[in-house]
Chain A
Amino acid sequence: GQNIDQPTEMTATEGAIVQINCTYQTSGFNGLFWYQQHAGEAPTFLSYNVLDGLEEKGRFSSFLSRSKGYSYLLLKELQMKDSASYLCAGMDSNYQLIWGAGTKLIIKP
């Protein structure tokens, strides 16, 4: 079956760094997406990885290891506005997104 696993909730301190992990099992693989969703709002696209390695985009970076079925989202210099749910989604061979349940990130001052 297809499955995306990520932690339910994480807490971090303002100004610090946090890594949100995601493991995936999909039927075929066409890439891994990360989205941010603030409470009561729709998700917004953060990153896409299809090749192994790290993709950096400002304070956010995303990493992929295809052999391990593993990805992480790294958030640096955390700000209070980064408090949100972070959704990991794998794209299968039919180009369908398989969504994780999301990781709720709580930032404390």
Chain B
Amino acid sequence: GAVVSQHPSWVICKSGTSVKIECRSLDFQATTMFWYRQFPKQSLMLMATSNEGSKATYEQGVEKDKFLINHASLTLSTLTVTSAHPEDSSFYICSATPGARGGQPQHFGDGTRLSIL
């Protein structure tokens, strides 16, 4: 149980393109989803937390107009990197939890490797 699917796994595109990444909880309802970014050999960096039906909470330094997050249902959240540039190239990982309370673990998708040329 607790499977999170993330799509696509790899994206290579030209600078200026917008890229959408989907994160789905397959066998549970995810009241909260998280978006992380990880650069090579560095730790996870939380970008934003989203709760179903409400606006995402962005971490300091993360541009909300650059990284659009939509959590329209209890099983789907999307991250759109708008007008992507080479510095946005990174490993983006989503996670989901059935509830933010009670010590529920975050279950991670497989990640999306984004390369902007």
A interface residue numbers (CB < 8 A to B): 30-31, 33, 40-45, 48, 50, 87, 91, 95-97, 99-102
- A interface, over-half SS: loop
Given contacts A96-B49, A101-B43, contact A42 B103 (CB under 8 A): no
The interface residues of chain B lying within 8 Å CB-to-CB of A44 are 108
**Residue B12 CB within 8 A of the other chain:** no
Q: Assess whether B100 is in contact with A42, with CB atoms less than 8 Å apart.
A: no
The chain B residue sitting closest to A50, CB to CB, is: B103
Q: Is B85 part of the contact surface with A, judged by Cβ < 8 Å?
A: no
Tell me the B72-117 residues at the A interface (CB within 8 Å): 91, 93, 100-101, 103, 105-111, 113
Q: What are 22 contact pairs spanning A and B, CB under 8 A?
A: A30-B103, A33-B105, A33-B106, A41-B110, A42-B93, A42-B108, A42-B110, A42-B111, A43-B44, A43-B108, A44-B108, A45-B108, A48-B103, A87-B43, A91-B103, A95-B100, A97-B46, A97-B106, A99-B44, A99-B46, A101-B43, A102-B43
